[in-house]
Amino acid sequence: MSYQVNWEIQALDQAAGFLRDDSVGVAALWDTVSQLADEPRPPESFPYGSPDLRRLRAGRYRVFYAIDEERRVVQIDHDAACRSPGTSNPVGGNVL
């Protein structure tokens, strides 16, 4: 049984802010997050304080999310651009 993936408004706004500078990267971010419906704990994700709070790298972006097993929901709480190797500024300005 798959999970429902929900985005917090703030997380959607953050992703939308990256579109102008990196539409290909945001498409990859969206694809990676969509796959959480079938596998909310992919091997490349890491627990962030508890097994149900996770972080996941999606290309240039990092996503923080929570899993609600009872409701079968993955809640995307935050996404941010990570620093690219050799650059001083991240895409879009938010760094994690």
What is the CATH code for 4-81? 3.30.2310.20
**pLDDT tens string 61-72:** 999 999 999 999
Contact 66, 46 (CB under 8 A): no
- pLDDT band at residue 93 under the 50/70/90 scheme: very low
pLDDT above 50 for 52: yes
Q: Give phi and psi for 68, each to the nearest 5.
A: -110, 100
